[in-house]
Structures are given as structure tokens and as C-alpha cells.
Amino acid sequence: MELEASEVEAEKFKSKKTNITDSWMKKHSSIYKEATRHPFILSIRDGTIDSPSFKKWLGQDYIYVRAFVPFVASVLVKACNELDDSSDTDIILGGLASLNDEITWFKEEASKWEVSLTSVVPQRANLMYCSFLKSLMRSEIEYTVAVTAFWAIETVYQDSFSHCLEDGSKIPEELRETCQRWGNNGFGQYCHFLQNIVDRCLEKASIDIIAKAERVFITVLEHEVEFWNMSKGEI
């Protein structure tokens, strides 16, 4: 029986025992590195970040996380509509629930730094990223594509902030909590659970959905780079 191109593609990955997501991280290692070892992150790691840059990131990221909530909810809905509605929904629901505490943390952190969250004006890179999230919420966007974006978004922050916590870093004490929020091992484990979901979906996906998911993976990385650039940019 003739194998479909997608089955050949999937077989190739199965036999090589490399996940599709790992192959993407290698294939797109330069943009992945730009997103996870950005000068903004390195300035936190070496303690050279100035407080206006940190305060700018804090305000902008609060706006982003508010837009991230309905996006994660839309991924949960897509997961529930999948035929084999398996443990995916539990993991995604856990991610959604954690955003409640995250928003509380942003409000507390903002008052510590005297950032007024209500008067933050979303900058262009943030608006572009949030409208990209909104575009992925459309019902015609497949679950595999949406959950790929979700995994990529979480992994960029986990990889970035865990780098800040590694030995040899000189993060200022007042930034340690921020780094630990996304750099801790529990969040790392959660990102691996998301990565397993993505790889399982990709194994079953058609060749054109795999291509769509790969493009979305790259687009997330590009938006993350722009978001860090914005945070480092002029006030």
C-alpha cells in the first residue's frame, strides 16, 4: 500500500526518534537564540538592566498577558473539541488557571515598581503580537497550529528566564522573583508537557498542517524578539 507523503514524513521522524519540535529548534536555532538569549534577557542576567527598561517591559507584558488569557482559553476549547480529548485539556486548563495568579503577581510587582498599569499604552510590537494571538483564536485555526503557538510562547519565557537563574548570573535581588516566575523547574516541566502534546499532534497531522504549525512557531519567535526589542527600546 502506497504511503501518503505525510506518513512518510511522520515515519521519518518516528524512525529517527527525533521529535518534530526538536528538529524545528535546531533548524531555526538562530531566531530561537535571538528570542531566548536577547540582549534584554542578558541585561537581566548580568544585572546591567536599568529600571526604566524593566518597568517598560513590566507594563507591556501585563497588557500582553491580558490578551494571552483568551488565547489560552481558545486553545482549551480546541482541545476539548478534539476526538481523543485526552489529558491535553488538564494541562492546558492548568496553564490557564495559573494566569489568574500571574495577573495578581503583575499588579503587586507594578505597585512595587510604581508602574501604573492602567495608564500603560500598548506599544506597536505589543499590539502586533496581540493581534497575532487574536488571529490564532479563529475557529478555522486548527488545534495543532494553536497549541504549537501556545508551547512556543511559554517555552521562550521559560528558556529565557531560566538562563537568567543559571550559575554565574548576577541578577539584581529585586528581579529574582521575576526570573523565578518563568524560570523555575515546575514551569519547565509544564513546557515539556506542552511540547509532548505538540509532537503528538504533529505526528498525526497532514503535511500542510505541519507546515502551517512550523510557520506559526517561527512567527511566535519573531514576535518575541520584537517584544524584547520594544522593552529595551526608548521610553
Ligand X SMILES: Cc1ncc(CNC=O)c(N)n1
Cβ–Cβ < 8 Å for 151, 197? yes
In sign, the C-alpha dihedral spanning 206, 70, 124, 36 is: negative
Write the CB contacts of 51 (distance below 8 Å, at least 6 apart in sequence): 113
Window contacting ligand X (CB under 6 A); options: 16-24, 36-44, 48-56, 61-69:
61-69
Among 9, 61, 88, 142, binds ligand X (CB under 6 A): 61
**Residue 102 annotated as binding site:** yes
Stretch that binds ligand X, among 5-13, 75-83, 149-157, 162-170 (CB under 6 A): 149-157
Q: How far apart are CA 41 and CA 130, in angstroms?
A: 21
Nearer to ligand X, 24 or 68 (CB): 68
- The three grid cell numbers given for residue 83, joined into one nine-digit string: 476526538
> Considering beta carbons, is residue 78 or 223 the nearer one to ligand X?
223
Rounded Cα–Cα distance for residues 141 and 157 (Å): 24
Per-residue contact flags (x/-) with ligand X for residues 199 to 228, judged by CB under 6 A: -------------------------x--x-
Q: Which residue among 10, 145, 146, 153 contacts ligand X (CB under 6 A)? A: 153
Q: How far is CA 11 from CA 26, 46, 135, 145, 147, in A?
A: 19, 44, 31, 20, 22
Q: What residues act catalytically? A: 224
Binding footprint of ligand X on the chain (CB under 6 A): 61, 64-65, 68, 102, 153-154, 156-157, 224, 227
